[in-house]
Amino acid sequence: MKKLIADLSEFQEGIDFAQMKIEGVEGVILRGGDGTYLDKAFEGFYQKSRLRELPTGAYWYSRAVTAAQAEAEAALFYERCLKGRKFELPVYLDVECDAQGGLGRDGLTAVILAWAKYLQERGYLCGVYTWPGWVRDRMHGDKLSGLELWLCQWASERPETDCGMWQFGGESNFLRSSVIAGKVIDQNYMYKDYPAIIKKQG
């Protein structure tokens, strides 16, 4: 399977969800926040995704450089974005900031696992968003096997590393127009039936 998924933040505020569906979008992943900052469009986007019956996931752009900071980000994400809401797609930790790039395999893996543990204990299917090179060179992939993988590679070819979600374009897009419903959007192909997986796992 391959479904077109849009990931959205306040930078796309005002986008027409009905028009996105007309143009082929089959699900959305919404930014909850960045570090300790809450995305001001999250609540409105969530309500619109429900109205249009779009499978929905969420992500948090992480600034954490310790396990304790990662757990604090997860707690904020849970309390302000996830709690009491329904999601058919995974919740992801966006790992890409410069400070995290210098942590080394042990440090970055510890950050990811601490974040995921907090949310897995509360019943969420968790994943990590990053670049293929970071998975290869900056993480202990064997320790992250229980997490879903969402990879960013703006190119015409899918990453060699297996992943459930591939972000293939944004401002640069080698497969489609970068614009959907009048906005430049980061675009993804989903290769796993996450709604079915999440339903099965309860």
pLDDT tens profile 72-116: 999 999 999 999 999 999 999 999 999 998 999 999 999 999 999
Tell me what pLDDT residue 199 has.
Answer: 94
- The CA–CA distances, whole Å, from 82 to 27, 30, 43, 60 equal 17, 11, 10, 11
From 178, 117, 103, select the one nearest 167 (Cα to Cα). 178
Q: Which two tokens stand for residue 124?
A: 């969420």
Rg of the chain on CA atoms, in Å: 16
Cα–Cα distance, 135 to 129 (Å, whole number): 10
What pTM was estimated for this model as a whole?
Answer: 0.96
Cα dihedral: 148, 153, 155, 158 (round 10): -30
Q: Which two tokens stand for residue 32?
A: 């909850």
Tell me what pLDDT residue 202 has.
Answer: 81
Q: What is the mean pLDDT of residues 171-177?
A: 97
The β-bridge relationship of strands 56-61 and 91-94 is parallel
- pLDDT tens readout for residues 119-138: 999 999 999 999 999 999 99
